Chain A
Amino acid sequence: MRGRRRAPPPFPMFASCTDPSTLSGFPWLACYLTTGKHLAFYFSFLVVLALLVLAAPAALAMGLGAALARRSRIGPLRWVAGLYTSMVRGVPDVIFFLFVPIALDQAIEWTRHKLLCPDVTEPIRRGNDFVVCAQAKLPLSSADAWVHDVYGFLLALIAYALVFGAFAANVLDGALKAVPKGQLEAAQAIGMSPGQVLRRVHVPQMWLYALPGLSNLWQILIKATPLLFLLGIEDVVYWARELGGAKTQIFAYPHPDWRAWYFGGLMLFYLLLTWISQRGYERMMTRLARGQKVAGA
């Protein structure tokens, strides 16, 4: 696990919180909820939102690329894209989330080792160890904690983009097929090249058909974000476990096991997120369908 703990702020947020043992009731709770660790907990919600905002366009780009590659005239490209889009059908996404970051990490370090330390003759895999020279490590072991955090987040982001790109490719492939043939033939008839047909008619018209599937995918992506926890990132699940666990008297804010409360809070957070998304999708659909001949408007 790469993540390292962020240092809590050295002083409490409010002056009245310097000695929590004298407090009770609401002031105690107010102080408790504004400790450094709780601020880190609130920050981790932003990490979830950041992942959503970054992973969605990345997955969409990968999906569009794969969906177009599946209709390519170049055989190998078509096969690779076909394999990529169908892999998510048989393999649970969790396996990818566990596999991709560590595999990517090792692949990068292996390449760097070959490039930066060509004179090391010992093999990289020795029994049950994976040894690369110090310069090949990424991030370098001398790097700051935040560099490790960002690197870990980037690897996670790539894993999400890969998995959801494959899901998106399935959706977009169906949408590309749903565009009426007449539209494409008309575009051809007025002398557009295949590339022009694709860019100016096929892809722009596809979006309306893709929207229901993509909205679905967005919901799935939301519900997949807590899996960040499996990638060793200090996400909402990590902090809920950390903060909710029973705290004895040696802690500033002793309390019994409150994890059920923290996870209940997370349930509410996700319920809210999926609810807002659903509302947003419905509004977008009515706007897009205005003046169009599609069912479900």
Chain B
Amino acid sequence: MTCAEAIAAYGLRALGLGERLLPSGEITLCQQVALIGSGLIWNLYFAGFALLLGFFLATGLALAKTSHRRAVRLPAAGFIYLFRGTPLFIQFFFAYELFVQVPRAGFQIDLGVVVIGAQTAWLTKAWAGALLVLFLNTSAYTAEIFNGALRAVPRGDVEAAMAIGMTPAQRFRRVIWPTMLRLAWPAYTNEAIFLFHATALVFFSSFPTWRQEGDALYYANYFAEKTFNPFVAYPIAAGYFVLATLILIAAFGLAGRILNRHVAPEQRRRFRFRPEYVR
């Protein structure tokens, strides 16, 4: 099998396209590079959607945690505490078992006139179930970051906004929220990196692969076990992750520059690698 053939056969294998059987017997380097690369699609999918959705929930949770009302503050704080205090790996297992237990037949809500059925079996699939766990998990970590940034918003800025007669909604949208983002951005970049890295855990927890469509590490592990040689497949996967991480840092750096465009360069908060939000 030539290199081009390997790429054609396995380049999109993680999506179910191309060759049905995974490589076996004589395994070439090209096959490993192509298949592990196709697995990266799953990591990008999980990280992308979890971060996108988590961003909004995190903003809400961070606000709720600063609320003066106990009924609002405590549930948010409890949620954040639960997800930050337990390992993501265990969360995957626990959620999967819950998803398997609860729905067996799906929900049946009898309203007398009409019966509402909710099919929940799809939650046991990795694309939905694992994404849900990752989404809730990153929301909790991000909410903690945003909450810290909200507390650091300069009081004078908010008072100035009040003085010129902004409504609370305007104040939030135009002053508090942009400042919060700006202050939180370096820490949020760290969170994004580690969430991306955490996506490699999905197929090693209970979530099963379907038709052997897995992520980069799933295929790296497959090759390492097939060839009994860890020195090729794992470095390939590591290389992909390093590359994707560098792109992610560059993209977040660009966004950070846009957020900071009105701030003098020496006053900007720089991104520093801090594994504070690893799970």
User: Which A residues form the contact surface with B (CB < 8 A)?
Assistant: 86, 88-95, 98-99, 102-103, 106, 125, 128-130, 167, 170, 174, 213, 216-217, 220, 222-227, 229-230, 237, 240-241, 244, 257, 259-260, 263-264, 266-267, 270-271, 274-275
Contact = CB atoms under 8 A, between A and B. Distances in A.
Contacts of B90: 226, 237, 263, 266-267, 270
B94 A267 contact: yes
A220 B275 contact: yes
Interface in B156-191: none
B149 interface: no
A210 to B, nearest CB: 13
**3 pairs of A and B residues whose beta carbons are closest in the complex:** A90-B242, A92-B197, A260-B97
B123 interface: no
Contacts of B246: 90
A106 to B, nearest CB: 7
Among A90, A98, A216, residue most surrounded by chain B Cβ atoms (within 10 Å): A90
Contacts of A227: 89
Contact of B245 (A89, A223, A270, A275): A89
Nearest to A92: B197
Interface in B76-114: 81-82, 84-91, 93-94, 97-98, 100-101
Contacts of B44: none
Dominant SS at the A interface? helix
Contact of A226 (B82, B87, B242): B87
Given A99-B238, A128-B226, A167-B275, 6 more contacts: A170-B273, A213-B274, A220-B278, A260-B100, A263-B94, A271-B86
Interface string B244-279: 011000000000000000000000000011111011
B127 interface: no
Contact of A92 (B217, B224, B273, B274): B217
Interface residues on B, range: 35 or more
A88 B86 contact: no
Interface string B135-148: 00000000000000
A241 to B, nearest CB: 8
B42 interface: no
Contacts of A237: 89-90, 93
A106 B81 CA distance: 41
A173 to B, nearest CB: 10
Contacts of B81: 271
A270 B86 contact: yes
Contacts of B226: 128
B45 interface: no
B217 A94 contact: yes
Contacts of A88: 275
A259 B229 CA distance: 34
A230 B90 CA distance: 12
